[in-house]
Structure 1
Amino acid sequence: MSRCKKISVVVLGSEDHLKKALISLILENELSPLSKTDLKKDNYRNENDICVFTCAAWDDLRKVFADNPDPDMSLLVVNKGFSKDTVCQQVEHLHKETIERTREFIVVQPFGCKESYPFKCYTIDQLFSELIQLANDRNLMPTNTSPADQPGSSTPTSASPMIDGKHSGTEVNLVLLGMAGTGKSASGNTILRKKETFTSKPSSCPVTTECQEVKTVIGGRRVRVIDTPDIFDDEMKSSIKEHVRKVKELCQSGPCVYLLVMHVSRFTDGERGILKKLETAFGSKVREQTVILFTRGGDLEQGGMSFKEFLDDCQPDLQKIVEKCGRRHVLFENSASGSDQVETLMQIVDGMLKKKETYGTYKDRRIKGQDRMGWD
């Protein structure tokens, strides 16, 4: 078995038909070698550079991880109606057999499971969000074909889905949301690379009181940045509906990505229920369109903490918010002049916009998954 150089996923489980179905879903390909009862191969790869490793029996676990010691994800797929205790025992067995106590095994939840479990779980949606994030990070997402992509062309290609210097036909709306004082306006200025566009200053009272929009072009993508007042302030109920209506009106022009702005050094009681308020305002599917934008990245640097360490050690309620938003997140330091943070954000945004093209809609995947995996 050769080590996968791109995205590597290990799929494990006691039910062969579930492993086969999950591999087919991940690779978006009906795998003819999986048509028989036993798994005949131990690795599969698709054109998007996703490599999946598996084994026909638990006895081969050590070989799987010996040949592929550091996969991006190790998944355990379980049947509907599974026993928590049984899955806990399986996870414990995996740690023991692979001789790696710190390895993270993620249980792929059957559709409809909403309980909390003593082990880490992914829904199918979270699994695909993670794959998309990995593909974004490694520039593996398919790009629009252009003459520059054809053999023999001397024109350099762009790593972005948009060709530099040419405006994409689709305008994306970036909506800055969050509580007062989190840095929404400053983040909008960072995205626009114009420090004075949105009013941003220290104040004990909310500075932004009306929705504001500014259009720009970033990496060839036409972007509308929308700054908003604090729509989560219960004391402002009389004006919240009008602000939400205005945002929805502005977003009719194209796809919308919500940037939920949060301060790395402050997580308030009001923010614990912020997703519920977000869903009330923009609908139950809003999480699938949301990126967590953390501000004050310099505070982490001063404290000698990496962004990953912050995410691993932050409060459980904040971790839940990050998880429920598909672990899409970016760190901003709005006093910095570099463009890397904006480019990172736009990579995530582009990945979200290409999600339907690359993996199909969540509804399609759900129906497909129910059909293949028997999770109806």
Structure 2
Amino acid sequence: MSYKKVSLIVLGSEAALKRALITVIIGGDEAAKSSYLKESEIYENNNYKIIYTPDLNKPSKDIKSVFVYNKDHDRSLLVVKEGFSTGEVWKQIEELHKLTGKSTEEFIVVLPLIHEHTESYPFTCLKISNLFSTISKMAEDRRQKATSTSHADHPDDPMKVAGKPSDSRVNLVLLGMSGSGKSASGNTILGKTIFPSKASSSPVTAECQAEDKEIGSSWVRVIDTPDIFDDDINDFTKKQHVNKCKELSEHGSTVYLLVMHVSRFTDGERNILRKLGEAFGSKVHEQTLILFTRENDLMQGDMTQGAFIHSLTPDLKKIVTKCDNRCVWFENKAPSSGQVERLMHVVHQMLIFRNNSAGSWWRFSR
């Protein structure tokens, strides 16, 4: 059954940034890429139609034509680079207003992921993570409206729900020391208590365990693991845990979530990436992001995420740098809906931008 795609016009003065944004939204599966007007292109898949526009320093008639031919588009996105001038951006919006007849409020400025709000802007703005969740919800709502309200029960193979092949699954493997919050983070991602989680002086998780859930447009398998980095565990038991983990994540793409406590960095974690490489391969860091738990500890200390990153000890900084500065924060005691959306955005970034230098624009920190 057909439904109206989410239509986006992407504006800006930096071609690389505009294409990076389009790649984040479309991914590598665009169904069509066609010339539209002079120096303009259309990218489409099942959910989105995205119009790449000429750079804003090009003749204005080409930009105006894009809006004439796309009167019913859903969003106008103005992409800016890190270190942008508020005055210059507002000037661009005013010029677009005069050129297209659209109100200034209709132009949404897409901020770099690293950017922190330090002032009150005169324009509407969103970080890419918030934008992605907004348009994903729009696409999901349209799919649901176009689908019959009666659904059959899930088939035995959950990977075939809604026509999803098994290789479309995303495996999220939770790794880390005992007490770091692996199981609690898994429960936050799933939105319900599946993995045993409690304060304890001894490890609570004894075996690898997996649970599947559809999150947004992805079918996700969350895999909780025992502490395979504990030096007191014998090599045979460690190997059993690793093999079970590999078996559970055999199908689909895999991202490793290295779970760490924001207020505690132990001696056992100093060599955790080396141990991770020994277990899952020397390039496993390319598939790894850091999931910091106990975000409220930062708030209580009046510390921003950016300040936390800059205050890291040299050993922890090496781990974060090795994982290409990919970090997310969870508060499992009082989880917010935005936590999982932000996590999934970073996960999709990794899968899209692996080995793609354009992805550096979206990283949390340089």
**TM-score band, normalised by shorter chain:** 0.5 to 0.7
Moved more, 173-182 or 277-286: 277-286
Q: Where has structure 1 moved over 6 Å in runs of 4 or more?
A: 5-10, 25-28, 41-44, 49-53, 140-143, 146-150
Name the counterpart of 1:205.
202
Q: How many aligned positions are there?
A: 264
Give distance in 1, aligned partners of 2:279 and 2:11.
36
Name the counterpart of 1:220.
217
Asked if the contact 1:167–1:220 (Cα under 8 Å) also holds between the matched residues in 2, the reply is no
Give distance in 2, aligned partners of 1:296 and 1:7.
38
1:1-376 aligned within 5 A? 136=129, 138-139=131-132, 166=162, 168-169=164-165, 170-195=168-193, 197-238=194-235, 239-353=237-351, 355=352, 362=355
Give distance in 2, aligned partners of 1:286 and 1:141.
31
Deviations 1:308-348 (A, max 9, x none): 22122222222222222122211111111421111111111
Amino acid at match of 2:295: G
Asked if the contact 2:289–2:323 (Cα under 8 Å) also holds between the matched residues in 1, the reply is yes
Give distance in 2, aligned partners of 1:288 and 1:136.
21
Give distance in 2, aligned partners of 1:308 and 1:214.
32
Amino acid at match of 1:205: S
* SS at 1:261 equivalent: strand
Instruction: Tell me: CA distance 1:183–1:148, structure 2 relative to 1, closer, same or farther (3 Å).
Output: closer
Instruction: Tell me: CA distance 1:230–1:274, structure 2 relative to 1, closer, same or farther (3 Å).
Output: same
Instruction: Tell me: CA distance 1:273–1:201, structure 2 relative to 1, closer, same or farther (3 Å).
Output: same
* SS at 2:132 equivalent: coil
Where structure 1 has 5 or more consecutive residues not aligned to the other structure, the ranges are 11-21, 34-40, 54-63, 74-133, 156-164, 367-376
Please state how far the C-alpha of 1:51 moved relative to its aligned partner. Answer: 6.8
Instruction: Tell me: CA distance 1:299–1:9, structure 2 relative to 1, closer, same or farther (3 Å).
Output: farther
Give distance in 1, aligned partners of 2:264 and 2:141.
47
Name the counterpart of 1:110.
none
The two structures, once aligned, show a CA RMSD in angstroms of 4.7
Give distance in 2, aligned partners of 1:50 and 1:140.
17
Give distance in 1, aligned partners of 2:13 and 2:326.
19
Q: TM-score, normalised by structure 1?
A: 0.55
Give distance in 2, aligned partners of 1:218 and 1:236.
34
Give distance in 1, aligned partners of 2:179 and 2:320.
20
Instruction: Tell me: CA distance 1:65–1:177, structure 2 relative to 1, closer, same or farther (3 Å).
Output: same
Q: TM-score, normalised by structure 2?
A: 0.57
* SS at 1:276 equivalent: helix
Give distance in 2, aligned partners of 1:6 and 1:140.
17
* SS at 2:269 equivalent: helix
Instruction: Tell me: CA distance 1:7–1:268, structure 2 relative to 1, closer, same or farther (3 Å).
Output: farther
